Structure 1
Amino acid sequence: MRALVYRGRAARPAGCAEAVGALLERHGLEVRFVGRRGLTPAALAGADVYAQPGGGTLAPAWRHLRGRRSAIRDYVAGGGRYLGFCLGGYLAGATPGFALFPGDTDRYAGSPGAATADTGDLVLPVSWRGRRRPVFFQDGPLFLLDPGADTRPGVEILARYPEGGVAALACPSGAGRVAVAGPHPEAGPDWFADAGLPVPDPLPTDLGHDLIDEVLA
């Protein structure tokens, strides 16, 4: 299977796209990186999954990628798969974004009842399929589903933040499928060490593989 991973101005600092690519390769997918100009309907048509990694903030990323909204929406609607991490999760929302799931996103840090108001690097515990797991977090999104959307066929709430907000989900989108995470389950030990944070044991990369399994389901 083939994965197309965005790598460009909306995936900075360096290392965000590479971490997602490495995770996908360990999952057994053939990975190709593409920038905005290469993100065409033809390129997407040749991919089993398109991955949007983390990066900077939503507003500049959207200015950079909004011209690719139709191509990405058409790809997913026609049976493609979208995998989003942190900023890639924000971009899956609607205001602004690709509008790929029934709902929208908001900043988790500082939201009502949130476990943190810190938008910097930290280790945040989430409940992933009912198990408490520490993950790397940096100003990731909270996923706000439309009323009743969580009961629709094929919608899976994979993880929740400490107060119960949705931290990761997978769902159908047209004839395709979307899987997104607010935290960074793709983060390697260097992410934690570089930020001066304790490295979880075990690393939460198995959660990243679970996210990939869901988008490929």
Structure 2
Amino acid sequence: MRALVYRGRASRPAGCAEAVGALLERHGLQVRFVSRRQLTPEVLATADVYAQPGGGALAAAWRHLHRRRSTIRDYVAGGGRYLGFCLGGYLAGATPGFALLPGDTDRYAGSPGAATGDTGDLVLPVSWRGRPRPVFFQDGPLFLLDQDAGADVEVLARYPEGGVAALACPFGTGRVAVSGPHPEAGPDWFTDAGLPVPDPLPTDLGHDLIDEVLA
């Protein structure tokens, strides 16, 4: 299977796209990095999954990627798969974003009842499939589901107060899986930020997310 991983201005700082690519390779997928200009229907048609990694601010990323909105929506609706981490999760939302979710996104840090108001690097405990797991977190999204979101939406993880931290859902004949935290983070992400390295690393959660989008 083949994965396309976006690597361009919206994936900066360096390392975000590479971490997602490494996770996908460990999952057994062939990985190709693509720029904004390469996000065409013809290139996307070669991929089993398109991955949007973390990066900088949502507003700046959207200015860079908004012209690819219909292209990505058509790809997923036609049977493609979208995998989003942190900024990639924000971009799956609607205001602004590709509008791939049965709802929208908002900043988790500082949201009502949130466990943190800090938008910097930290280790945040989430409940992933009912099990407490510490994950790397850096100003990730909270996923806000519509009241009429269907039973085919699977909530994979919740933040400490219960907000949705990761989910998988259909879009057209395709599928979407997104995470607010960074389960793809390697040990260097933690040590570089002066944070304790979880044992075990939560990369198994990243593989679970990939399994869900490929289901």
- Same topology, TM > 0.5: yes
1:60 to partner: Cα distance: 0.3
Report the residue type matching 1:138 in the other structure: Q
Q: 1:54 & 1:61 partners in 2: Cα distance?
A: 10
Matched residue, 1:18: 18
Q: Which segments of 5 or more consecutive residues in structure 2 lack a partner in the other structure?
A: none
Shift of 1:167: 0.1
Shift of 1:155: 1.3
Aligned equivalents of 2:152 and 2:200: distance in 1? 29
Instruction: Tell me the residue number matched to 1:196.
Output: 194
* One-letter amino acid of the counterpart of residue 165, structure 1: G
Q: Where does residue 216 of structure 1 map in the other structure?
A: 214
Structure 1 residue 144, shift from structure 2 partner: 0.1
Name the residue aligned to 1:59.
59
- Tell me the residue number matched to 2:182: 184
Aligned residue for 1:171?
169
Give the superposition deviation at 1:39.
0.8
- Displaced runs of 4 or more, over 4 A: none
CA RMSD of aligned residues (A): 0.5
Alignment of 1:18-167 (within 5 A): 18-149=18-149, 152-167=150-165
Q: How far apart, CA to CA, are the structure 1 residues paired with 2:133 and 2:2?
A: 29
Q: Secondary structure at the match of 2:199?
A: coil
Percent sequence identity is 88
Return the alpha-carbon distance in structure 2 between the equivalents of residues 134 and 44 of structure 1: 34
Distance 1:153 1:109 in 2: 27
Cα distance in 1 for residues equivalent to 2:125 and 2:5: 27
Deviations 1:43-93 (A, max 9, x none): 100000000000001000000000100100000000000000000000000
Q: TM-score, normalised by structure 2?
A: 0.99
Alignment size in residue pairs: 215
CA deviation after TM superposition for structure 1 residue 135, in Å: 0.1
- CA distance in structure 2 between the partners assigned to 1:12 and 1:195 by the alignment: 17
